[in-house]
Structure 1
Amino acid sequence: MPRFAANLSMLYPELDFLDRFEAAARDGFKAVEYLFPYAYDPRELAARLSANGLQQVLFNAPPGDWDRGDRGLTCVPGREAEFREGLLKAIDYAVALSCPRIHVMAGLVPENTERESVQPTYLDNLHWAAVEAAKAGRDLLLEPINTRDIPRFFLNRQDHAHEIVEAIGALNVQVQMDLYHCQIVEGDVAMKIRKYLPTGRVGHFQIAGVPERHEPDVGEMNYPYLFDVIDEVSAQCGWQGWVGCEYRPRRGAVANGTSDGLGWLRALPRTAGA
């Protein structure tokens, strides 16, 4: 069975962020991911990881001004210096937290602008970022995100993401395959896993129920089957990555809401993170 990482930006919402590490470990998780670490001293985060026997497996590079609507800067012309400053900050955090992967959000296509016109900016930023990340031994991940959740997001499809990875041509640039987004945009999820996982260019999975983004046993997707597909293909190609649980607990920010909703995980043949 795949190894599962708790997404602390979404799970355990009733707790203060720093208390979510202990909660995840108590529920059997061996790894965590989250959106952004930058509001916290990396030494504090490292201490929480160590105290709870957790690995940090993923977080995002700075997205720009999130509160004002930025969702990454990689494709945004005119903000290259801000992108580079943020990427270097992310690398510093990744080194401090022993985190091997950084998700670099693509950003929004500016209003009244064609997607194709900003792809050169996206590629230029990624070429530079790949070199800097490689110096520190870190991988960069590119995630296609559906335009229902984030309208005008630059990267939406698996095939486009893999075309970008091929164009960059760096071994440390890979795709973050979020099955929730993939189902909403494209469907045919199992066949896409079979197609792309053997390429060696999928660095990480994420999951959530569709359409509400709750637990993976709620909604239209058959996740036990998809986990079996990941296992089958992983056995053939040697993939040993993580599956991030990036969903909103159906019960919301109530005591034990996340833990009580982990029946889907407890029902699997092996424990979380095993």
Structure 2
Amino acid sequence: MPQFAANLSMLYPELDFLDRFDAAAKDGFKAVEYLFPYAFAKEDIVARLKHNGLQQVLFNGPPGNWEGGERGLACLPGRDAEFREGIAKAIDYAVALDCPRIHIMAGLVPADLQRDAVRPVYLDNLRWAAEEAAKAGRDVLIEPINTRDIPGFFLNRQDDAHDIVEAIGAPNLKVQMDLYHCQIVEGDVAMKIRKYLPTGRVGHLQIAGVPERHEPDIGEQNYGYLFDVIDEVSRQSGWQGWVGCEYRPKRGAEPGGTSAGLGWLRALQQQRA
């Protein structure tokens, strides 16, 4: 059965962030991910991880001015110094939290530029980030994101992400394959899992129901089937990554809503027991 990590930026929204670690552990999760740790002291997060026996498996590098609408700096011309400062900070947190992966958000293509014009900036920044992360023994990940949720986002397709990873050629640069985004942009998700997981270039998976981004048993995707595909391909290829539960609970911030919505996971565990 796939290894599932709780995304604490989306799950347990009724709780303060640091209390979400306790809630995830109570629900049986062994690992966590989230968007950003930087508003919290490293020591406080480490204490929650250790107290609950949780692994930190992923977080994002600094995205620029998030409140102002920025969604990453990697493709933005003239922001190199800020990008590098952010990656250094992310690596520092990753080492402290014993987190093996950092997701680098590509950013929005500037309105006055074409996508092809910023691609060299993106590749140069990724190349530098991969080199720096390798010194600390960390992977850096890039994620195709659908343009309905984030209009103008630079990276949208799995094939493009893999082409970029191959072009740069750094062994610690990998793809974060979010099956929710993949379904919205491309579809044919099962065949893409079969194609890309065996390459060794997929560092992490994420899931959510389509189109509302609720629990994976809500919506148009058959995740029961996709989990079987992941299991099958993992056995054949040796892929051992985590699957992040990056969805918004349908019951929202209702107390206990996240836990009540985990019937899909409990059923899966019973089936595989």
Identify whether the pair has TM-score above 0.5, normalized to the shorter chain: yes
Unaligned runs of 5+ in 1: none
- Aligned twin of 1:129: 129
Which residue identity does 1:136 align to in structure 2? A
- Aligned twin of 1:76: 76
TM-score by length of 2: 0.99
Superimposed CA distance per residue, residues 73-101 of structure 1 (whole angstroms, 9 cap, x where no aligned partner): 00000000000000000000000000000
Instruction: Name segments (4+ residues, structure 1) moved above 6 Å.
Output: none
- Aligned twin of 2:169: 169
Which residue identity does 1:86 align to in structure 2? G
The alignment's C-alpha RMSD in Å is 1.2
Q: Percent identity?
A: 79
1:203 aligns with 2:203: yes
Partner Cα distance (1:269, 1:85) in 2: 42
Which residue identity does 1:158 align to in structure 2? Q
Unaligned runs of 5+ in 2: none
Partner Cα distance (2:167, 2:89) in 1: 25
Q: Is this contact kept in 2: 1:265–1:271, CA < 8 A?
A: no
1:157 aligns with 2:151: no
- Aligned twin of 2:220: 220
- Aligned twin of 1:18: 18
Which residue identity does 2:93 align to in structure 1? Y
1:268 aligns with 2:268: yes
Partner Cα distance (1:124, 1:103) in 2: 16
Query: How big is the shift at 1:225?
Result: 0.4
Partner Cα distance (1:156, 1:112) in 2: 19
Which residue identity does 2:187 align to in structure 1? G
Aligned residue pairs total 273
Query: How big is the shift at 1:269?
Result: 3.4
- Secondary structure (helix, strand or coil) at the match of 2:269 reads coil
- Aligned twin of 2:58: 58
- Aligned twin of 1:31: 31
**Relative contact order (alpha carbons < 8 A, sep ≥ 6): 1 or 2 greater?**
1
Partner Cα distance (1:20, 1:187) in 2: 32
- Aligned twin of 1:256: 256
TM-score by length of 1: 0.98
- Aligned twin of 1:244: 244
Query: How big is the shift at 1:112?
Result: 2.9
